Every structure is written in C-alpha cells, then in structure tokens.
Structure 1
Amino acid sequence: MFRRRAKGEDAADQLDEFVDADSEDVAGATSEDEDDANERVGLPPAPRPDGPFDSTEIDDAKEGRVDLGGLLVPGVEGMELRVEVAGDAIVAATLVLGNSAVQLQAFAAPKNEGIWGEVRKEIADGITAQGGAVDEEETALGWGLRARVPVQLPDGTQGVQLVRFVGCDGPRWFLRGVISGQAAVQPESADALEQIFRKTVVVRGEGPMAPRDPIVLRLPEDAQMVADGMPQQQGHPGVDDLNPFERGPEITEVR
C-alpha cells in the first residue's frame, strides 16, 4: 500500500552532511579525456545481460516491481517513491532509500543508435557552464558521470551537491539515473540503488515517439498523488533537473 509521507520529512535535509561549500573541486577533464568521450557518442546500444530490461525481455516483469506504466521499478523495503511532473504528465520517479536516492527517467531513442554518449556530454557541458566540475567514469553500470553541482544551501550560502549520472541505451529507449546523497559520496553505499537501476524494466510501447521524448509514467492503481509544494522537474535529459531531492508529488511504499 502507499501512505502520505510526513510533511516535515524532507529528504533534502539528509544531504546537509554531504554538502560542503569549501570542498575541493573534482578534477576537470583533459583534452585527451574529451577526445575519448567524443568517440563514445553515437554508438549502438550495448548488450544488457544484467539489465535494465525491456518489457519484452523478461517474463512476469511486474512481479516484485511497482507498476508506473512506462517503468516497472523494483520494490525495496522501506523505500519512498516520488514522482516528477511536467505539466500534466508524470515523467520521472525518485526512489529514496535511507540517506540516498536515485531518480529514474526514461526517454524514446532511435532504434539503432544509443543517445547516452551524447546526453552525457550535454550534462557535463551544462554542469561546467554552471561552475561545477565533472569527471567521466567507467563503472559496473558502464560509462557515467561523477559531478559536483553548485547549489544554494538552506542558509543562503553557496555549496556543492555530489551526484552521479548513470545511463543505459535499450531498444528504442534510454534510461537515465541520477544518484544522490550518501550513495554519491560513498561507493560502498550505492549497491542497493545500482541494483534498483539494473532491475528496472522499461515499457516503451509500440507507438511512434520522437527521440528524447519522455516515456510518460503513471501512478499505481492503489496510490494517491499528494503535492508537496516543491519545484517540479522538467522532462528533458539535460541539466535542468540535477537535484532529484527537489521534487513534485510523492508517495511512499511500505512493505
């Protein structure tokens, strides 16, 4: 079942101990790094034996997963599930687990060409333009970004938020994840969120969609949307929604 989250419980508060205005910057990319990154743009989707999965690739996809329409996300004990709204459409879901969170957003993509390399470069350029710093990294989830994004702290001073961007190209879709909180700072804390990303199933549908169109989500049948008054996210895979702790309506799964 789903219950309304207590009004005073804001996961953004959990970030305070991980955000420091005086922290050292992540090293900037070298020209050689940029050349290597450019070579990874426009590649065909890589094999995904460990996920994320397309809805046609796995039997009983809804078993053990929360049905959000365009995404089937694994249910984990104690997790909070929040949804991001663009206009009247739900376009992203954020799963909060302890002091960490992962925002999931799926987009349409070309049939034979992945877009994660291109999107990754756009995100890096956008963060750099904002005064942040980005490193490209190769992890168990493939190529991703580790970034320090400028943010305004509750006391009005400037600080940075540590985030990780992960992505996966599938058959006519692209899934992006934004990992925040403790899991972005301490790699050993990221296993649960990485497994959520891997076990997510994308339901692209057969209808025509332009590349980068968000795959629209919906609330589970037994859930009720409750607006919390926080700023809403946009549905573009760029740099306008770097903070998954700033979110729209939310629901909490209790298991």
Structure 2
Amino acid sequence: MFGRKKPVTGARDAAASTGPESQAPSSTGPHDRSSVPDVREYYTALGYGHIDLGSLVIGVPQGRDLNVALDPAGQPEFHVVTQVSRVIPRAFAAPKSAGQWRTMVAGMREQLEQQGADVSVVDGPWGRELVAVLPGAVFRAIGVDGNRWTAEVRVMATPELADQAAEEGREVFRHLLINRGDGPMPVREQLPLTIPDEIQQALTQARSQQAAQQQAQAYQQQMAAGQQGGANQQGGANQQGGAGQQGGARQAAQAGAQASPANPQAAAPSARAAAAPQSGGRAAPSTGGTAASSTGGTARRRDGSAMDRLRGEDDDL
C-alpha cells in the first residue's frame, strides 16, 4: 500500500528558530542540522551517543554498536547494530521539489524483483517503506525528502525479528541530522562524509589487507587452473599411450601444488578499527561484529549483486 509522505522537519524548523537559545526541534526528524542549536546536547538529552560525519550526524541509542564497513565502491558506510538489526543511514542531494524518495523506492523495487526478491511497498510513519523478503533475511528501506536532501536508512534482520528491527531502524532514522550544504550537487548523489582520523587510518589498513587477500585468491585460482590444465594433458597422454607426456604433466601438477600457498587467507589478516562516537555520553561498547566497531571488529568489503549485499549483512545478527 502506498502511503502519503508525512511532513518532515528541516527548513521549516530552521526558519522557526529564533536564536541560539531556541530548543532542538521536538517534531519527528530527520532534521536539518541547522535546526539543532547544540548537537551534543541534543543527543545527550536523548541518552544517545553520536558520531558527527559532517553531512550526516548519526545518533547511537543505548545498547547499540556503531560499526564501519566498506561498500562495493570501497567507500565507508556506518552501521548501527544490535542482535536484532543492522541499520545503515545515508543522505543524498535532492532537488527543491519533493519526490526523489518515491523515485528511489521504484528503482530499488525493480532491481530487487529482478533478482527474485518478494518486494512490497508499505505505509510507514514517513510514507513509503520498501520491504524485500530474501532467503533468510528481510530488508527494509525507510526514507523521506527534506530540504534539498533525501535521508534513508536500510534495515536488515532475520524474518522472525523483522518487525522489531523496523522499529529499531525508525528510532535511528528519526534522530538523524542532515547538513546538505549550499554548493551544487547532482541529485541522488550521496552526501560526502567527513571521516574521523582514527577511523580513516583503520580503513586504509583494511583496504590494504583486502588488496592482499584478493591477490592471494587470484594466485590460488591461477594455480588451480594450472593444475586442471595439467590434469587434462595427463588424460590426453593416457589416451595416446604417451608415458613421457603423462610423467611431464604429473610433474607440472606437483610443481603447481607446491607453489600454491597452503593458506592464502593468512596473507590477508582481518583489520580492526576504532569507531568511537562523539557524545555527551559515549555509545554502548561493542561486543564485536564483522565491520569495524566501536571497540574493534573486522572491516570488510561486500561485493556481488545488490541481493548478495543485503544477504551478506546478516552475518553477525
């Protein structure tokens, strides 16, 4: 069922502010950052930690972990994680007129249906929410158009916890702060993030480790292909009765096996990073995860199709 877009704060809140003493907006966000006089006090009053990424400020409720991972383009994205859900907030440049979120939902729906997902569009507090049922997982996209920006959270959960995960996603979504900036940007382009130095260093290390792991995997594949080729030559030698060729093929296969690393994964150890939220009170300590977390976890790049990405996020739920 398609819902009507609900009002969202932003330019209206900013216009209503009368000065630095005005209170943070009380209506449901996401909010323009300009409408919140003191970001730290805003999240402290909620009992949240937060991380300030320049164009996007993410609140981290008590009991949640903040992880960072690399998207398929190698760019960092931040996840708010519990044992129930993984919530990925993002913000995009948008035209002055509303309607971009509607277009984004239509595009996601088409892509997921092409990959075999069972997709529906339901009515949520902000209007349209896209829900895709995948093997062993449920993906939900919640979004809304603001003042020249579109905010979104993507929520992943197992089917039996999908409803609870949706509420956790909405809780993060309603307290996002967006700083669109005044410069021109192509519509639907993701707003650039300002990454804290300690996280940037960890991501640089993770990229290096990923490159090493990819090289090791490529080498292993080449060696496997060489062994297969040697086996084919061996079979041909047997058919022709060429004992010399057979012996040569066996020697080549043995040499290839000796040259192949016994454990190519060992060439690319897992990276660990610290993603410490800035807060009036800090975010809850991490208990671990597959992305770089607030106390450490593996930063991992996710490749493959959109469905593979969605499915892959379920690893540490």
Asked whether the two chains share a fold, i.e. TM above 0.5, the reply is: yes
Distance in 2, matches of 1:106 and 1:184, equals 29
* Aligned counterpart for 2:193 among listed residues 213, 217, 232: 217
1:101 to 86, 91, 107: 86
8 Å Cα contact 1:168-1:175 kept in structure 2: yes
- CA apart distance, 1:119: 0.6
Per-residue deviation, residues 114-155 of structure 1 (Å, max 9, x unmatched): 301011011111111101111110022321011113xxxxxx
How far has the Cα of 1:206 moved from its partner?
1.5
TM-score normalised by the chain length of structure 1: 0.65
Q: 1:94 touches 1:244 (CA, 8 Å); kept in 2? A: no
Query: Is the CA contact 1:163–1:179 (under 8 Å) kept in the aligned structure 2?
Result: yes
Aligned ranges 1:111-122 → 2 under 5 Å: 111-122=96-107
Gapped runs of 5+ residues in structure 2? 10-26, 44-49, 207-297
Secondary structure at the aligned position of 2:35 is classed as coil
* Sequence identity percentage: 26
Work out the CA distance in 2 between the residues paired with 1:244 and 1:200: 25
2:62 aligned with 1:77, yes or no? yes
* RMSD across aligned positions (CA): 3.1
Q: 2:132: which partner in 1?
A: 147
Could you tell me how far apart the structure 2 residues matched to 1:110 and 1:54 are?
A: 15
What is the CA-CA distance between 1:202 and the residue it aligns to?
1.0
- For structure 1, the 5+ residue unaligned runs are 1-32, 150-158, 248-255
Cα distance, 1:243–1:225 mapped onto 2, change above 3 Å: farther
Pairing partner for 2:31 from 50, 53, 58 = 53
Q: State the aligned residue count.
A: 195
> Given that residues 74 and 301 in structure 2 are in contact (C-alpha distance below 8 angstroms), is that contact kept between their aligned partners in structure 1?
no
Give the drift of 1:192.
3.3
CA separation of 1:199/1:229 partners in 2, compared to 1, >3 Å: closer, same or farther? closer
- Give the structure 2 partner of residue 245 of structure 1: 313
Normalising by structure 2, what TM-score? 0.53
Q: Does 1:231 align with 2:231?
A: no
- Secondary structure of the structure 1 residue equivalent to 2:86: strand
One-letter amino acid of the structure 1 residue matched with residue 143 of structure 2: G
CA distance in 2, matches of 1:206, 1:240: 36
Please tell me the residue identity of whatever aligns with 1:225. A
- Distance in 1, matches of 2:105 and 2:98, equals 15
Q: Which residue of 2 aligns with 1:170?
A: 146
Higher RCO, Cα 8 Å, sep 6+: 1
Instruction: Quickly say closer, same or farther: Cα 1:190–1:129, change in 2 above 3 A.
Output: closer
Q: Is the 8 A contact 1:89 1:216 kept in 2?
A: no
1:201 aligns with 2:196: no
* TM-aligned CA deviation for residue 219 of structure 1: 2.7
Instruction: Give the number of the structure whose residues are more often strand, by fraction.
Output: 1
SS at 2:174 equivalent: helix
Q: Is the 8 A contact 1:62 1:72 kept in 2?
A: no
Give the superposition deviation at 1:229.
Answer: 5.7
- 2:91 & 2:303 partners in 1: Cα distance? 14
Q: How far apart are residue 103 of structure 1 and its match?
A: 0.8
Q: 1:189 to 1:122 in 2, by over 3 A?
A: closer
